[in-house]
Amino acid sequence: MLAVTNTLTRAKEPVRPHTPGRVAMYSCGPTVYRYAHVGNLRTFLLADLVRRALEVGGLQVRQVQNITDVGHMTNERFDRGEDRMLVSARLEDKSPAEIAEYYTRAFLEDAAALNLQRAAEYPRASDYVPQMQELVARLLERGHAYEVDGNLYFAVESFPGYGRLSGNTLDRLRAGHRQDEPDPRKRHHADFALWKAAGPGRLVRWPSPWGDGYPGWHIECSAMSLATLGEHIDVHTGGEDNVFPHHEDEIAQSESVVGHRVVTTWVHGRHLLTGDRKMAKSAGNFTSLRELRERGRSPLAARLLFLQARYRTPLNFTWEALEGAERTLDRLRSRVAAWAGSAGTPGQGAGAAGYEERFWAAVDDDLDTPRALAVLAELEGDETVAPAARLASAQAFDRFLGLDLAAQVGQRLPAGAEGLIAERERARAARDFAAADRLRDRLATLGVEVTDTRAGTTWRLRR
């Protein structure tokens, strides 16, 4: 049974669904005003790994991942600045709807390239504004919200549990923590916006009982998660920067409406770093999947790189590390192809059972992917295990890893390449490395790239 670190309780806990056998899972998704960067994708990979681990364990998972296409204000206090969607719309000479559609498609393409399983639904925030208004009205009726000049705020003092997710209790929060100066319209400086009145130049707005306006960021996920998954959500995932204020505020809103705990387990991934700083669009230090491809790196090499660190530890992204992950991925695929080409049967998994037990124990132990990869590496090098048994185990492991390890199975070498590889092996055995290098170059002209490992020479067809 999968156990994960629950941010809410600060403890490692097994995932026990409210409805036996079925897991309701909500994943915070992208804000579609630019391409997702690989740091975003590492966070989305966390949700994919949780889901795969649960499904391998025999559970049915209904995953919902939202698309934020309304945008976030750059300044929460006043409608005097433009939000991210509107800035992108102006810079690219497109409407906000066109921007959202374009980058939503780009996100789904990136997710597929990283082998993230498709969610059951991808609700878009702009389609759920009526549900957001309904939640705001119910919060207002129950005394959890108040209105000032068409702006509605959640009254944090009305929710006794505020701060339990992040540890940012009201007595510890300083005034102005959300912006440069406290908003004088708020009763308490930690109150947050549920609905904002639209200024005269606001392009995207909706009519409401409180006048034309637009939703606050946090109410979006409460509305979409409750509408698509109901009042009991087993697992909610996101990045560590979502913990506060986004998820803290989501808890306050949702629980104040339904009257009970909504999310059982909160799972958050740590940041991807570059140059020891958080990768972020705002910092300008981000890398997209498109840039990886332009530099000859595959998306699944990035997936393998992310798997080399546990989700709850930060990871520093470097091109050197990505290159190493690419080599490892090529070697694994070559080995799997070699096992597939060997005669014999796995003998009901004989010889690999111990590896399988250790691999799945690592997965269930809070997604310990580095340990799981170490088990796979041990199995790869254990020549006492029959090739067919290693093949069967590697394919089973890949249901979780999602690395397409069988990508080279059935691939054929170009005419003459097999003989050149064998000749090169003989040259290396004779320590004639000059001849081996010449043969490597000849293979490259045929589109074959060879890699020397302790277990022997592996090959791949160049993309």
Pairing of strands 233-239, 22-27: parallel
Residues 246 and 143 in one domain: yes
CATH at 341: 1.10.730.10
Residue 310 has pLDDT above 80, yes or no: yes
Summarize pLDDT for 331-368 with one digit per residue, the tens.
Answer: 999 899 989 987 565 554 457 999 999 999 999 999 99
Residues 363 and 221 in one domain: no
Which of 9-18, 87-96, 210-219 is least confident?
Answer: 87-96
Taking a C-beta distance cutoff of 8 angstroms, is the pair 394, 405 a contact? yes
What domain count does the chain have? 3
Residues 257 and 291 in one domain: no
Summarize pLDDT for 368-411 with one digit per residue, the tens.
Answer: 999 999 999 999 999 999 999 999 999 999 999 999 999 988 87
Residues 157 and 198 in one domain: yes
Residue 383 counted as domain residue? yes
Residue 410 counted as domain residue? no
Residues 359 and 434 in one domain: no
Residue 409 counted as domain residue? no
Residues 141 and 256 in one domain: yes
Residue 68 counted as domain residue? yes
For 41, 116, 254, 402, the CA distances from 112, given in Å and listed in that order, are 11, 6, 31, 11
Summarize pLDDT for 412-447 with one digit per residue, the tens.
Answer: 888 888 899 889 989 998 999 999 999 999 999 988
Domain boundary among 269, 291, 307: 269
Residue 202 has pLDDT above 60, yes or no: yes
Residue 412 counted as domain residue? no
Taking a C-beta distance cutoff of 8 angstroms, is the pair 56, 18 a contact? no
- Burial of residue 446, with CB atoms counted within 10 A of its CB: 0-12 exposed, 13-18 middle, 19 or more buried: middle
pLDDT of residue 347: 52
Residue 196 counted as domain residue? yes
Instruction: Out of 68-82, 169-183, 345-359, 439-453, give the one with best mean pLDDT.
Output: 439-453
Summarize pLDDT for 261-271 with one digit per residue, the tens.
Answer: 999 999 999 99
Q: For residue 90, which phi and psi values (nearest 5 degrees)?
A: -70, -45
Distance, CA of 428 to CA of 455 (rounded, Å): 14
Question: Residue 180's CB: how many other CB atoms inside 10 A?
Answer: 7
| 28-58 CB burial, b ≥16 within 10 A, e <16 | bbbbbbbbbbbbbbbbbbbbbbbbbbbbbee
Tokens (6 digits) for 14: 């097994």
Q: What is the mean pLDDT of residues 450-458?
A: 72
- Burial of residue 236, with CB atoms counted within 10 A of its CB: 0-12 exposed, 13-18 middle, 19 or more buried: buried
- Which structural domain range is residue 294 located in? 274-401
Residue 406 counted as domain residue? no
Residues 336 and 211 in one domain: no
Taking a C-beta distance cutoff of 8 angstroms, is the pair 301, 272 a contact? no
Residue 408 counted as domain residue? no
Residues 45 and 118 in one domain: yes
Positive or negative: CA dihedral 303, 309, 310, 312: negative
Domain boundary among 243, 269, 295: 269
Residues 282 and 351 in one domain: yes
Residues 288 and 219 in one domain: no
Domain boundary among 245, 269, 293: 269
Instruction: Find the angle CA(181)-CA(185)-CA(191) to the nearest 5 degrees.
Output: 75
CATH at 79: 3.40.50.620
* Nearest one of 184, 189, 205, 66 to 129, comparing CA atoms: 205
Percent over 70 (pLDDT), the chain: 90
Distance, CA of 268 to CA of 239 (rounded, Å): 5
pLDDT of residue 76: 34
* Nearest one of 154, 161, 121, 133 to 262, comparing CA atoms: 161
Residues 175 and 44 in one domain: yes
Residues 384 and 278 in one domain: yes
